[in-house]
Structure 1
Amino acid sequence: MDEETPVFAIAVAAELAGMHPQTLRQYDRIGLVSPTRTAGKSRRYSMRDVMQLREVARLSSEGVSLEGISRILALENQVADLTKRVRDLEHTLADQMLRSSGRLVFAAGAHGDVVPLRHGTRAQRRTEVVVWRPLGERPARVEPDDVLGDD
């Protein structure tokens, strides 16, 4: 059972929310907090509905109009739905990345750039020789055998 499961009859939901059952009926009529209905058309409230009813009571006591409360609840519901969607997409992406055989790994290039690599391959290293010379000194001729050390 989760917070979305409709389990509470109107009398129980009203008691949990600290309201009169007639107030819950009114809120249902105007679409403020709409519970699910059973096959026999009786109202069933979830724990989330009860929490929204408590939020309605709090906002109402602070002087927010029913229209304002309706807008606030709609935005809160939208945020909750989008948060759930993002979480689902993150799980899907993580699962996909774990199952993907062509995963990419990133390494730093010679000039600080980012280089994508296939999983299991190594970055190629530069092997050329760089010789430092003070300014004005003539370059000496370097033979490949001198660099490689073949004596």
Structure 2
Amino acid sequence: MTAGMSAGIDERAPIFVISAAAELAGMHPQTLRQYDRLGLVEPQRTPGKSRRYSMRDVMQLREIAMLSAEGVSLEGIRRILELENRVNELSTRVRELEGALADEMLNRPGRRIFAAGAEGDVISVKAGTRLRRPNSVVVWRPLGGVEH
């Protein structure tokens, strides 16, 4: 499947029957049934109880095959997948919270901005406030009255 084809397909849409999913994953359909029983993959079910696999399920089956080929036990694979799913959930939550925080910082009345103080220090200034700066003029003349 090319990238252009997959761009319009929801990766979580349950579109593959077990034989198609098994072929895409390079496995026997019975292996998919076993992985379903073990909870390694959880395909959706039709009203008639037949399994329907998504592209995400197929990718997970491929990952299971790779880990298994590397010698990882089924229990180890289950734990790895569980942790990967948790990381994905937490990453999504972090992005949501970062967005909410950014929105809050932009929309909160009385938000603060920062400016350089007279001594070069950083100072917090309420939005809409202007700093008062001295406006005196200093003229420098060299000592000894020598002019060029």
Give the structure-1-normalised TM-score.
0.73
Shift, 1:108, TM fit:
3.3
What amino acid maps onto 1:61 in structure 2? A
Shift, 1:84, TM fit:
0.9
Q: Which residue of 2 aligns with 1:67?
A: 75
Report the count of equivalent residues.
Answer: 130
What amino acid maps onto 1:83 in structure 2? S
1:14-44 C-alpha deviation (Å, 9 max, x unpaired): 1111111110100000111111222222212
Give the 3-state SS of the residue equivalent to 2:80 in structure 1: helix
Tell me: CA distance 1:117–1:24, structure 2 relative to 1, closer, same or farther (3 Å).
same
Among the aligned pairs, what percent are the same residue? Answer: 68
Shift, 1:6, TM fit:
2.1
Tell me: CA distance 1:39–1:116, structure 2 relative to 1, closer, same or farther (3 Å).
farther
Work out the CA distance in 1 between the residues paired with 2:11 and 2:74. Answer: 24
Q: Which residue of 1 aligns with 2:53?
A: 45
Q: Which residue of 2 aligns with 1:95?
A: 103
What amino acid maps onto 1:89 in structure 2? L
Work out the CA distance in 1 between the residues paired with 2:44 and 2:121. Answer: 56
- C-alpha RMSD of the superposition: 2.4
Give the 3-state SS of the residue equivalent to 1:116 in structure 2: strand
Task: List runs of 5+ in structure 1 lacking aligned partners.
Answer: 129-151
Bigger shift: 106-115 or 1-10? 106-115
Bigger shift: 64-73 or 113-122? 113-122
Give the structure-2-normalised TM-score.
0.75
What amino acid maps onto 2:114 in structure 1? F
Task: List runs of 5+ in structure 2 lacking aligned partners.
Answer: 1-8, 137-148
